[in-house]
Amino acid sequence: MRYASITDRLAHLGSGRWALHITARRMKAEGEDVIELTIGEPDVAPDKALLDEAARAMHAGRTRYSNGRGEPNTLKALVAKYAKRRPGVTERNFLCFPGTQSALYCVMTGLVGAGDGVLVGDPLYATYEGVIASTGAHMIPVPLRPENRFHMQTEDLERAITPEARVLLLNTPHNPTGAVLTAAEIAEIGEICRKHDLWIVCDEVYEQLIFDGTKFASPFDMAELAERTIVVASISKSHAAPGFRSGWAAGPAEFCDKLLPVSEIMLFGVQPFIADMTALALSEHFETADVMRENYARRVKIVEQALAGSNLVKPVAPEGGMFILLDVAATGLGGEEFAWELLKQEKVAVMPGTSFGDQAAGFLRISLTVPEDVLETAITRIGDLAGRIASQREAPLNVG
């Protein structure tokens, strides 16, 4: 039988990136005691008021069709939220989607096609390459280097730009590295985008999970970049509600108007009862993000302290988010091989760095979404495995 070319373009860009996570879940289902540090599922519940609002709306009959742009109460809440960052926004600057992933997919579909290029920092979130490939465009990696704390450098961006480049996909705070771009860095990056007439798509899903001493900045808030910037975000991380699938895109009114038919063909609206919950989440302050932010920052310190004396496993402190990278290159194994050995020998599941691009090949990504005692146990096991691997490498060959 014949299939569309998209099936070939995405054949190796789907759940294979999460093969270790899927294996670990199967092992747990079979009764094995696996510590799971793979995906970014918050370990706190959504605020009860949000759950109550979703239930209230559902029982009140808010289960019918919505419209393509978004429910009026959610759009009003989005305007209020983003007007604090950039005065003058209106409902025409927004489109609502079931989560950041579908928002990003629709946005990319509206910006690029076959033969176009999308610049992305490497390391990158695991689905980005697939989202780009789905449109027929190709990914152009921009190296994010450990010695620069994984912050994109303007010279690396300038060097990567090709005549086919149409979009720069940013992610700040960044997954998997936890890097948070400063306003000055974004302004410099934005100037290059203006010079080469590039769109900027900025994934800001971790906006509220930035640790002390670091400030959030966005190209959306800069007047000189407003005409070329589109933000995608959701309540998945900020309100510990990933399963509710509620997100949005924010951008120029003209862009949102042009993208609306694409959104309508894809989805034709979100769930009204979840939209009501989202409107409440955006309109009031809930402590959920505050609690997570404190927890994750504290857990970063725990990992750093546990590995302070190691010359085999080196943590790279994040500036935000819910992950930390561990550099295991000194063990002599790449992140992929180390991660599978860790699951096999120590029953600890982590994400190999190769799931996030070539620049992360020597790293593991560790989720910070587990209790401190569990995290400490996992880090001890990681250190033990690293020690055994190093000892085996150094052992003299027995030829007798």
Complete edge-to-edge strand list for the sheet that includes strand 35-37: 35-37, 348-352, 363-367, 323-327, 314-316
> Distance between CA 175 and CA 353 in Å, rounded?
11
Whole-angstrom Cα distance, residue 114 to residue 52? 45
Among residues 315, 57, 25, the alpha carbon closest in space to that of 178 is found at: 315
CB atoms within 10 A of CB 88: 10
5-45+288-391 to CATH, choices 3.20.20.70, 3.20.20.100, 3.90.1150.10, 3.40.190.10: 3.90.1150.10
- The DSSP line for 49-85 is HHHHHHHHHHHTTTTS---SS--HHHHHHHHHHHHTT
Class of 48-283 in CATH: alpha beta
Cα gap 230→203, rounded to integer Å: 9
**15 φ, ψ to 5°?**
-70, -10
345's tokens: 């020998």
Q: End-to-end CA distance of the chain, in Å?
A: 60
Predicted pLDDT of residue 399: 47
SS3 of 32-52: the string is CCCEEECCCCCCCCCCHHHHH
Dihedral sign computed on CA atoms, order 97, 136, 157, 211: positive
> Which residue type is seen at 282?
L
pTM: 0.94
Instruction: Tell me which residue has tokens 């949000």.
Output: 50
Give span(s): CATH 3.90.1150.10, the chain.
5-45+288-391
- The Cα–Cα gap between 132 and 266 comes to 17
**Which regions of the chain carry the CATH code 3.40.640.10?**
48-283
Instruction: Provide the pLDDT for residue 396.
Output: 56
Residue 358: what residue type?
D
DSSP structural state of residue 177: T
**Angle 253-266/100-111 helices, nearest 10 degrees?**
110
Structure tokens at 315: 């943590």
CA 199 to chain centre: 19
DSSP annotation of 242 reads G
pLDDT in tens, the chain (400 residues): 999 999 999 988 888 888 999 999 999 999 999 999 999 899 999 999 999 999 999 999 999 999 999 999 999 999 999 999 999 999 999 999 999 999 999 999 999 999 999 999 999 999 999 999 999 999 999 999 999 999 999 999 999 999 999 999 999 999 999 999 999 999 999 999 999 999 999 999 999 999 988 899 999 999 999 999 999 999 999 999 999 999 999 999 999 999 999 999 998 889 999 999 999 999 999 999 999 999 999 999 999 999 998 999 999 999 999 999 999 999 999 999 999 999 999 999 999 999 999 999 999 999 999 999 999 999 999 999 999 998 887 755 454 4
Res 17: pLDDT: 85
**Is-contact 71 279, C-beta < 8 A?**
yes
Residues sharing a CB contact under 8 Å with residue 318, sequence separation 6 or more, in sequence order:
173, 177, 178, 179, 211, 300, 324, 325
Residue whose C-alpha is closest to residue 248's, from 55, 68, 62:
68
Residue among 107, 93, 111, 193 nearest 152 (CA): 193
Q: From CA 73, how far away is CA 381, in angstroms rounded?
A: 49
